[in-house]
Chain A
Amino acid sequence: MLQVVAQPIMQTVYQRPECLTDHHTHYCPGCTHGIAHRLLAEAIDELGIRTQTVLVAPVGCSVFVYDYFNVDACVAAHGRAPAMATGLKRVLPDRMVITYQGDGDLVSIGAGEILHAAARGEHITTIFVNNAVYGMTGGQMAPTTLVGQKTTSSAQGRSVSSTGYPIRMSELLSSLDGTAYIVRRSLHDPASIRKAKKAILTALKVQQAGLGFGMVELLSTCPTNWGIAPDKALEWLETNMLPYYPVGDYKVVPEVAAL
């Protein structure tokens, strides 16, 4: 007699990327570092380059990023990740060298390093997490803090007459001929996050193809230091940061189209 037995079909539809360890992150509730980490990890896995990747950690909230990624990594002094990445890539050119930096690390103390790495066209990729404050040190004003934004060192709101204007790093670096791919994306909603993932994948392919310096700026939230709840922080980003830091492609060399 023929017996028909129903079997449940189970399929994994979502899991931790191989590139991420199971170490609990120390980030605050609502921090978009979690999203940025995941996007980078997925991109590395999809390109199959986990064992070729070298990650350079910054100083800041993500100083322990090397605990969360299953790749070779090192940590640089504050702001110096692009310099360390330069040394790494030039000595080990077949490795995928990625720096992961916040806005204090990259735009403030690291301004010189990123400028010159980009100008020299170093074949590295920078993931730039921009939340318009110094996070780890307690929410002080950063070079990326918006005019009028209140921080622990601009209690009445950033004033132009005393501290000038915020720096738009993607626009600035895109003026340098050594750059191959400079884009800004945002992490404030699912559609933007999907676009950010594509940009990160492209940036890594740019390095693989040896086209020059690549950077993906990711507009991010800091609920703790902005003093607002995580969901409100996403809205704050959309309302306040997008107008000053428009999402877009600031430098894309023609060869990128073929990647």
Chain B
Amino acid sequence: MQVALLISGFGGQGVMFAGQLLAYAAMEQQLEVTWIPSYGPEMRGGTAHCFVVISDKPIGSPLVRHPDVALLMNTPSVHKYEAIVAAGGLVVYNQSLIPVAPTRTDVTLLPIPATQEAESLGSPRLTNMVMLGAAMTRVPVVRLESLYAALEAHLPAHRRDLLPANQRALHIGATYAQQLVPS
């Protein structure tokens, strides 16, 4: 079993943290995992993406040509990465910031109003957790419980007060995705 994920957005959306959380959750489950980041030179904004590979066998390379799952958090990410998702794969996209939907017909599209849901939970910075919760319902290899546990273990000390909100965001994303009929 091997699944490769791409998470992409602009600098500040928590793309890296989401990928790391996923990696830690998979480690919790004793799976093999790699995480590799990529970001532009900008101090503010710019683009950010990371690849996460989860497997039950040692992983040959952290680099991914065709992710099975893509979490796209802004429109430039759709433009850059819609085309490389593997056929039959899953594209979870942040409908709140992406007005023009991806157009591929050979992947499953999952539109999630992640920023909107995050804002109603109290902060747009919870967008990444909403996206992750939504994606994980379709990627059963990593359990939501592992993600909750990883949050407990890896949310930095100065952000501990945000733990309940982050876990709720994961839950909201998961609930939303479960209610959606795949397009």
The chain A residues found within 8 Å of chain B, CB to CB, are 26, 28-29, 61, 63-64, 135-136, 138, 224-225
Contact = CB atoms under 8 A, between A and B. Distances in A.
21 contacts: A26-B40, A26-B42, A26-B45, A26-B46, A28-B42, A28-B43, A28-B44, A29-B44, A61-B41, A61-B42, A61-B43, A63-B41, A64-B41, A135-B43, A136-B41, A136-B42, A136-B43, A138-B43, A224-B43, A224-B44, A225-B43
Interface in B13-72: 40-46
Contacts of B42: 26, 28, 61, 136
Given A28-B43, A28-B44, A135-B43, 5 more contacts: A26-B46, A28-B42, A136-B41, A136-B43, A225-B43
Contacts of B46: 26
Q: Which 9 A-B pairs have the closest CB atoms?
A: A28-B44, A224-B43, A26-B42, A136-B41, A28-B43, A63-B41, A224-B44, A26-B46, A135-B43
A179 to B, nearest CB: 31
Contacts of A225: 43
Contacts of A64: 41
Nearest to B40: A26
Q: Which of A26, A29, A135, A225 has the most B CB atoms < 10 Å from its CB?
A: A26
A88 to B, nearest CB: 24
A200 to B, nearest CB: 25
A28 B12 CA distance: 13
A132 B45 CA distance: 22
Interface of A is mostly: loop
A6 to B, nearest CB: 43
A224 B41 CA distance: 14
Contacts of B43: 28, 61, 135-136, 138, 224-225
Contacts of A224: 43-44
A61 B41 CA distance: 7
A29 B43 CA distance: 11
Nearest to B45: A26
Nearest to B41: A136
A136 B41 CA distance: 6
Contacts of A28: 42-44
A216 B46 CA distance: 29
A26 B44 CA distance: 8
Contacts of B44: 28-29, 224
A63 B43 CA distance: 13
A61 to B, nearest CB: 7
A28 B45 CA distance: 8
A26 B41 CA distance: 9
Nearest to B42: A26
A208 B154 CA distance: 60
Nearest to B44: A28
Contacts of B41: 61, 63-64, 136
A64 B42 CA distance: 10
A65 B172 CA distance: 43
Contacts of A26: 40, 42, 45-46
B181 to A, nearest CB: 38
Contacts of A138: 43
A63 B45 CA distance: 16
A199 B67 CA distance: 53
A26 B45 CA distance: 8
A224 B46 CA distance: 14
Nearest to A59: B41
Q: Which of B41, B44, B46 has the most A CB atoms < 10 Å from its CB?
A: B41
Contacts of B45: 26
B169 to A, nearest CB: 27
